[in-house]
Amino acid sequence: MLKEFRDFIITGNVIDFAVAVILATAIGLVINTFVADIVMPVVGHLVGGVNFDDIKTVLSPETINADGTVTAENAIMWGKWVNTIVNLILVGFVMFMIVKVYNKTKKKAEEAPAGPSQEDLLAEIRDLLKK
């Protein structure tokens, strides 16, 4: 059973999948930071100095009761949702570009001439020996 598990873990598919997950996580973090710290401040500036993280629709405001307890504000934080949508679009675009470049390199490797087949070489040797 341990041998089967070892063979399963060592196969290329599992290792490729693990590398893909790690890279996707890292790319996601980079793009998330890019969106939050670079893209959205620029977009906010262009639409009048708005910070999208703070945009919300308040359903019920924060209140202080007579006994001093505070009832928290109930709000729909749709600005954060906009940030997430922009993040999703950029992550999708980056992943699309990575796959596109990968497919181009894969096609070039497949299109490279493989050279003569074994049968062609044997036929050529046969013809040379006949001469």
d(CA 26, CA 20): 10
Q: Give the model confidence (pLDDT) of 75-87 as tens digits.
A: 999 988 888 888 8
Average confidence score pLDDT of the chain? 84
- Domains of the chain (ranges; CATH) run 2-99 (1.10.1200.120)
The DSSP element (H or E) to which 25 belongs, if any, is helix 12-34
Query: Which two structure tokens, joined as six digits, stand for 115?
Result: 């050279």
d(CA 91, CA 64): 42
Cα dihedral across residues 48, 49, 54, 58: positive or negative: negative
**Percent of the chain clearing pLDDT 90 (strictly above):** 6
pLDDT at 112: 61
Enter the DSSP assignment of 54. Answer: G
Q: Give the model confidence (pLDDT) of 11-52 as tens digits.
A: 767 777 888 889 888 888 888 888 888 888 888 888 888 888
What does each C-alpha distance from 113 to 100, 108, 110, 116, 125 come to in angstroms?
A: 22, 10, 8, 9, 21
Residue type, 89: I
